[in-house]
Structure 1
Amino acid sequence: MDELPIGRRVAYWRGRRRMSQQVFADRLGKSKSWVDKVERGVRRLDKFSVLHEIADVLQLDVQLLMGRDPERRTDALNCIDQIEVEEIRAALERYDSMTAFFDAAPCPPPLDEMRKAVSHAWLTYQYARYGVLTRALPKLLRDAQAADAAFSGGDEAHKAAHLLGQVYQIASSTLRKLGEHDLSWLAADRSMAVAQRAGDQLLAGLATFRVGNALLALGRARPALEINVNIANRLAPNAENEATPERLSVYGMLLLQGAMAAARIGDSATVRDLINGAEEAAELLGGDHNYYWTCFGPTNVLLHRASAAVELGEGRQAVETHEAIQPAEFNALLPERRAHHLLDIARGCTQVGDVEKAGAMLLEGDRMAPSEIRCRPLAHEVMSDVLRRTRGAPPAPIAELAEHMGVGV
């Protein structure tokens, strides 16, 4: 990558961010022809100010764009930088289990310690502390892989595989939030294979949920829909599958993720059927719970109703659904869920032209979980939309948040 001409690096990162040349050109305020010439090396990039603008649009360190080692950002407390991405990538590229097939595995950390570390990582994710989590993930991945490689059979092997499967899922969800969709898919795919070795159908169901999430982020909505519905049908409570709280939670989340995929392709009838099915599971569960780290329950179903409405372009319905949620139930949810929902509602508000309320939703989400608003590429897009459509100077709190996010006013 470092040896590539700078135009090729621009093309590479534009592709990683899933932007067309036209979208990229619009965000730069340039023509599509200008972008094409830069990427083909016909036009030179010799102004540092232009390089900074390109790096801002692509959301990466300008040093990385120039083929140099990236410098750690001063705001890395809340977000992720390219050094951390590469450290996570290196950890995902390890194959300790294959090495252990030929040689004795290294001494792994005790499983009790691993279990505590994994639980802490889940809570760190659900409190939307992504900067803390991304710096811990490389070591957590290495330790979990070493533990998994150390046991070849028996109960300890199942426990180690279960923990590794969870770590892969945490990594997948975090990377998806931060726009690293290819790595998110890789981690989710790994979690499916490990879940099978762990012998836990519900863990495999959750791994399917993560794969569906990653596929959706990659623009693969139809396979995301199919895989979620397929596994949900196999896990559905029935005469053979007891309706335990854990099963209801995983089953319900698969239906909700399937509904989000259906919304992405505009299939409103399937969205309605899947969310209604999840609602029935939530009623059986009775209240919002965090079994298998799902945060599933009636309130989360309402959050997904609103989110699906946004994906369908029905912003007004999303806002009405939000307004019908009981504040006590909403406030009882973990910060990531609440801030994620407020970001969805901000998107819905922009769809109906209420940019003032959209800005208010971003501010409220930032108060709950700053990383969910400041670090997510999707939130940057919403803030850009709010700023562009605000008449005159934006309110001071919005301008300040935009500055923290690195979004130009």
Structure 2
Amino acid sequence: MADEVPVGRRVAYWRKRRSMSQQLFADRLGKSKSWLDKVERGVRRLDKFSVLQEIADSLRIDVALLLPEGQAPQPVGPTTLIDLGDLDAVQAALERYEQVGLCPAPAPPPLADVRKSVRHAWLTFQHGRYPVLVRAVPKLLRDTQAVELAYRVPAERITETAHLHGQAYLVASTVLRKLGHHRLAWIAADRAMVIAGRAGDKLLTGLAAGHAGQALLGLDRPRSALEITTLAATALAPGGATYPEHISVYGHLLLQAALAAATIGDSVSVYGLLGSAGEAAADLADDANHLWTAFGPTNLALHQAAAAVQLGDGERAIRIHQKIDPDLLTALPAERRANHQLTLAHAYAQIGAVDRAGDALLLGDRLAKAEIRCRPMAHAVITDVLRGTRGTPPAPVAALAEQMGVGI
């Protein structure tokens, strides 16, 4: 679509792509058909971030697709944990091309410092501290690129520096996807895949494929996401005894493929993929965190619940949750636990238990604020909670909605 196309016409375009009438889509938004008609004709402007995000979530697209290229929605007030200037800096870092000599390469920092920085970035992500990570990503990309360019001998050194460089792109892709910037997330994952191919790093290639699949899923390309993750999983399928990092990447790919299949509605593939992931998880001694995948039996259960929600079976997701050992769940990274609470909130909303959904969102917010307050999916779920609540919502839920910029 051309960049000059007005926002209202973009809404109409995507609504028709989803085969929804104006009345049906207006009902989903809790608006009148007249309101939607005015929006699509450009009579009524869409200049409120929460409304734009709600429309994008209902259409299952990145909010950026509703806006001209380069124009970002600007949330205001207490809803914003992420500084828009920091996101601009991440995009600028993705637009640099030192690798092919188009920009002067910065002096490389000590390799030991870069190792620590990559590790710290992943720990920051797994603690759910997305604002801190977004601020760190541009320098991380520059530093890892600089060391890959500088340290080219001996051969094992270039293998390590390429892996660090690829990991930097993967952590950038992950946090961008969490924040709903799926196009940038896909670019970062694609860069990691190029680096992995250049270095002949099969595990990094698999990880990059998994992240690319997640980004494609956010871009409403579930079949492409399913294809890339299943192909990568097949390429890494263990043919006997292998090491934990290999099993973890293989299992991670199967989980991402299962979520893509669930988005399509292919329940047979979902359960087949989850079954294979279960066999891989059984080969690990515990809920390890090899190569930052957090892959293991408990994270498998979390993905089983997420796939059930995606298939519209909230009751099944809740049953899966009830069987998870609380101690094992507590041992997972804060991001995983908060994400699971978001899954539960969605499941409870599906079955009409909006009070329990609100409780799950509040618990997720206590575990990792950014996982709830910054994610488009959480905005959609809390909107469902508010609409489904009879009378005035509980004060903590109302306060969280206000902090997220979601109107009651």
Interval containing the TM-score (normalised by the shorter chain): 0.7 to 0.9
Matched letter for residue 8 of structure 1: P
* Residue number in structure 1 paired with 2:88: 86
Distance 1:140 1:13, change over 3 A: farther
Distance 1:172 1:363, change over 3 A: same
Equivalents in 1 of 2:71, 2:272: separation in Å? 51
Q: CA deviation at 1:327?
A: 0.5
Aligned: 1:113 with 2:107: no
Q: CA deviation at 1:145?
A: 2.1
Q: CA deviation at 1:186?
A: 0.6
Question: What are the within-5 Å matches in structure 2 for residues 132-281 of structure 1?
Answer: 132-152=132-152, 154-239=155-240, 242-281=241-280
Equivalents in 1 of 2:115, 2:12: separation in Å? 39
Question: What are the within-5 Å matches in structure 2 for residues 326-337 of structure 1?
Answer: 326-337=325-336
Distance 1:143 1:15, change over 3 A: farther
Cα deviation digits, residues 261-290 of structure 1 (max 9, x gap): 111111111111111111111111121000
Cα deviation digits, residues 319-355 of structure 1 (max 9, x gap): 0000110101111101000110110111111111111
Q: Please, what is the CA RMSD of the aligned residues?
A: 3.0
Distance 1:157 1:322, change over 3 A: same
| 1:31 match: secondary structure | helix
Distance 1:395 1:19, change over 3 A: farther
* Residue number in structure 2 paired with 1:313: 312
Question: What are the within-5 Å matches in structure 2 for residues 39-118 of structure 1?
Answer: 43=43, 45=45, 51=47, 54-59=48-53, 75=78, 79-99=81-101, 105-118=105-118
Distance 1:159 1:18, change over 3 A: farther
* Residue number in structure 1 paired with 2:60: none
Distance 1:309 1:332, change over 3 A: same
* Residue number in structure 1 paired with 2:6: 8
- Structure 1, unpaired ranges of 5+: none
Asked if 1 retains the 8 angstrom alpha-carbon contact of 2:38 and 2:44, the reply is no
Report which structure shows greater RCO (CA 8 Å, sep ≥6): 2
Asked if 2 retains the 8 angstrom alpha-carbon contact of 1:72 and 1:83, the reply is no
Q: CA deviation at 1:226?
A: 1.6
Asked if 2 retains the 8 angstrom alpha-carbon contact of 1:236 and 1:251, the reply is yes
* Residue number in structure 2 paired with 1:283: 282
Asked if 2 retains the 8 angstrom alpha-carbon contact of 1:106 and 1:150, the reply is no
| 1:392 match: secondary structure | coil
- Structure 2, unpaired ranges of 5+: 54-62
Matched letter for residue 112 of structure 1: A
Asked if 2 retains the 8 angstrom alpha-carbon contact of 1:25 and 1:32, the reply is no
Matched letter for residue 55 of structure 1: F
Asked if 2 retains the 8 angstrom alpha-carbon contact of 1:25 and 1:35, the reply is no
Asked if 1 retains the 8 angstrom alpha-carbon contact of 2:9 and 2:41, the reply is no
Equivalents in 1 of 2:72, 2:261: separation in Å? 41
* 2:36 aligned to which of 32, 36, 39: 32
Distance 1:188 1:367, change over 3 A: same
Cα deviation digits, residues 136-161 of structure 1 (max 9, x gap): 11121122222223345533322221
Distance 1:88 1:17, change over 3 A: farther
Distance 1:197 1:244, change over 3 A: same
Matched letter for residue 86 of structure 2: E
Q: CA deviation at 1:405?
A: 1.0
Equivalents in 2 of 1:256, 1:127: separation in Å? 21
Asked if 2 retains the 8 angstrom alpha-carbon contact of 1:13 and 1:58, the reply is no
Equivalents in 2 of 1:88, 1:283: separation in Å? 38
Equivalents in 2 of 1:19, 1:146: separation in Å? 43
* Residue number in structure 2 paired with 1:407: 406
Distance 1:162 1:339, change over 3 A: same
Matched letter for residue 315 of structure 1: G
Equivalents in 2 of 1:387, 1:19: separation in Å? 28
Equivalents in 2 of 1:33, 1:321: separation in Å? 42
Say how many residue pairs are matched. Answer: 387
| 1:260 match: secondary structure | helix
Matched letter for residue 377 of structure 1: P
Query: Which stretch shifts more, 375-384 or 159-168?
Result: 159-168
Matched letter for residue 41 of structure 2: K
Cα deviation digits, residues 213-252 of structure 1 (max 9, x gap): 111111111121121111111111114xx42111111111
Percent of pairs with identical residues: 49
Equivalents in 1 of 2:398, 2:14: separation in Å? 28
Query: Which stretch shifts more, 306-315 or 134-143?
Result: 134-143
Matched letter for residue 184 of structure 2: L
Asked if 2 retains the 8 angstrom alpha-carbon contact of 1:158 and 1:197, the reply is no
